[in-house]
Amino acid sequence: MINGNDTQIAILAGGMGKRLGIDAPKCLLSIGNSTLLDICIEGLIKNGFKDKEFILLIGYKHEMVRRHVNDGKRYGIRVKYSIDPENNIGWGKGKAFKYALLNNIIDRSKRTLVTFPDDIMLDDGIYARFIQDHLEAVSRYGVYASIALIDKVEYPYGTAKLDESNNIVEFIEKPILTIPTSIGLYVFEPKVYDIINEYIDMDSPKAVELESVIFPILAEKGLLHGFIIDSSSWLPINTLKEYEKAIKVLVNRTR
């Protein structure tokens, strides 16, 4: 079991599901008899996080999420909500997270494990191992944050190698690139909150993302650690094709 009082869970679940065929929060997209949010929370519970406080950062049709979760009774967990202000749909994960900080919904004295329901983890022990790896990196290297990375990723386009005359001498459709690639799983120590407060601009007219603003700052200062996992352990759901693949994979796992 993970020690109970030093870590909180933030689940960013404010996105819309319209591109995937539902006029509802994306986190309530169904796979079999479960939703993406069910899969996420139940995975965390299996990893020993049941006694943690779960913070749901929600926005679009947030009342549907609250009814589904039933204040944590659905899973037997403690839940708090950070609800994005109306008319701020699409303001980005950075603003959503800072908004929760500003309203003291995220406890500034605790580290935060950050995850997303539309990033499905197929490795049953990933969350516990991720926290353990992060704590070791904090102890050894003094890092402020860790992010999970898959070891390789499929490039979604065909690629070509050209000679000096621009004749194609090699063509590879959707090559596998061995580039560590971030997925939706992070851990922040409390020191990160000051950086978020300073660099996330709530008045920006554009969406502000943690990944594009905070991670480069931490990396430049040598304060960001990477936790490598096999690419087969992660299923993103951003397109209908990825959704259909996830249904097939998860249905086969439960047989």
Per-residue pLDDT at 87 exceeds 80: no
Q: Is 204 helix (H, G, I), strand (E, B) or coil?
A: coil
What one-character-per-residue DSSP string does 232-245 give?
GGEEE-SSHHHHHH
Among 75, 23, 80, which Cα is nearest to 49's? 75
CB 237 within 8 A of CB 20: yes
* Superfamily, domain 7-147+181-254: Spore Coat Polysaccharide Biosynthesis Protein SpsA; Chain A (3.90.550.10)
CB 230 within 8 A of CB 125: no
Going by the DSSP 8-state scheme, the letter that residue 106 receives in this structure is S
pLDDT mean across residues, the chain:
92
Q: How much is the pLDDT for 3?
A: 46
* Residues 143-179 pLDDT 10s: 999 999 999 999 989 999 999 999 999 999 999 999 9
Per-residue pLDDT at 102 exceeds 80: yes
* Residues 2-58 pLDDT 10s: 444 699 999 999 888 777 877 889 999 999 889 999 999 999 999 999 999 999 999
